[in-house]
Amino acid sequence: MRLTVLGKSPAWQDAGGACSGYLIEDGATAILLDCGNGVFGKLRQRRDYTLIDAVVISHLHADHFFDLFPYSYGLLLTPRQQPVPVAGHQGTDAPSRPRLIAPPGARRMLRSIGNSWGDGTLAESAFRLEEYATESELEVGTLRLRFATVPHYVLTHAVEVSSAQSDRRLTFGADCRPNDELVEFARGTDLLLVEATLPRPERTGVRGHLTPGEAGEHARRAGAARVVLTHISDELDAEWAREEGSRAFGSPVEIAREGETYEL
């Protein structure tokens, strides 16, 4: 199983960067985990977007799903997906329509946004939309998906992706405030991809995200084998974050970098 970071920015992109988006490949199977703003262009640099088996969304914050709209237009409008010959392309009777595995409320949200410019079924036309439940256990090719709710500002799921081929396991913590749910869900995972958004806890006292130290502490409590801190701005000092995370984890952690590939 191979993880490629397409975008690791928090709610505002790094210079030239993208928000949450991770390509996970396992043999011939490919999923895109989260599709935040900027991710579609990054995906196009790495893989044909018509050859993604499923897009999986952790939660309905803009930086985790907004590029579903340009992705939808690509699937529907690209000449090579048309039923008749166009612009040198032969035409196809079987255009690609990847699965879109999204949290409860996604259908309503995607329709509402599309409807704002009169195209409410845009995403549902381009993708085969299915809303998962927390207890869902899904298979996409050789990959298996499990979910756990984690506390954030909206309904949010940590996502486990494991390979039926290698039995390796990746846990994505999504966005979350300090909690026990992620620690339980990630117990013994091979790689924990965990957010480290904040330079310090929120001053308002209302928690929604983790600091690098808190992220490392969650990884230590979970007994994760390997830790990659993500959802971290280029306006935060990466070396500081690495040190904070590593001190709390008790071993070196890595900082997600766009384009970086991790073999599991």
Site residues for Zn ion per CB under 5 A: 61, 175
Shortest Å, Cβ 255 to Zn ion: 19
In the complex with Zn ion, which residue's Cβ is closer, 5 or 60? 60
Closest separation in Å from C-beta 232 to Zn ion: 14
Three-state DSSP at 106 gives helix
- Residue 61 CB, shortest distance to Zn ion, in Å, is 4
What's the min distance (Å) between Cβ of 175 and Zn ion?
4
Instruction: Provide CB contacts within 8 A for 69, sequence distance 6+.
Output: 113, 114, 122, 123
Strand-pair partners of 147 = 159
**C-beta of 175 vs 244, nearer to Zn ion:** 175
**3-class DSSP state for residue 194?**
strand
Q: Residues 192, 153, 66, 161: is their CA dihedral positive or negative?
A: positive
Q: Classify 38 in phi/psi space as left (phi over 0), alpha (psi -120 to 50) or beta.
A: left
Query: Between residues 30 and 229, which has the closer beta carbon with respect to Zn ion?
Result: 229
> Would you call 72 helix, strand, or coil by DSSP?
helix
Q: Which is nearer to Zn ion, 17 or 95 (CB)?
A: 17
Nearer of residues 42 and 61 to Zn ion, judged by Cβ: 61
Give Cα separations from 54 to 10, 81, 95, 172, 194 (angstroms).
Answer: 23, 17, 15, 16, 21
Q: How far is the CB of 73 from Zn ion (least distance, A)?
A: 24
What is the spatial distance between Cα 132 and Cα 127, in angstroms, rounded to a whole number?
Answer: 15
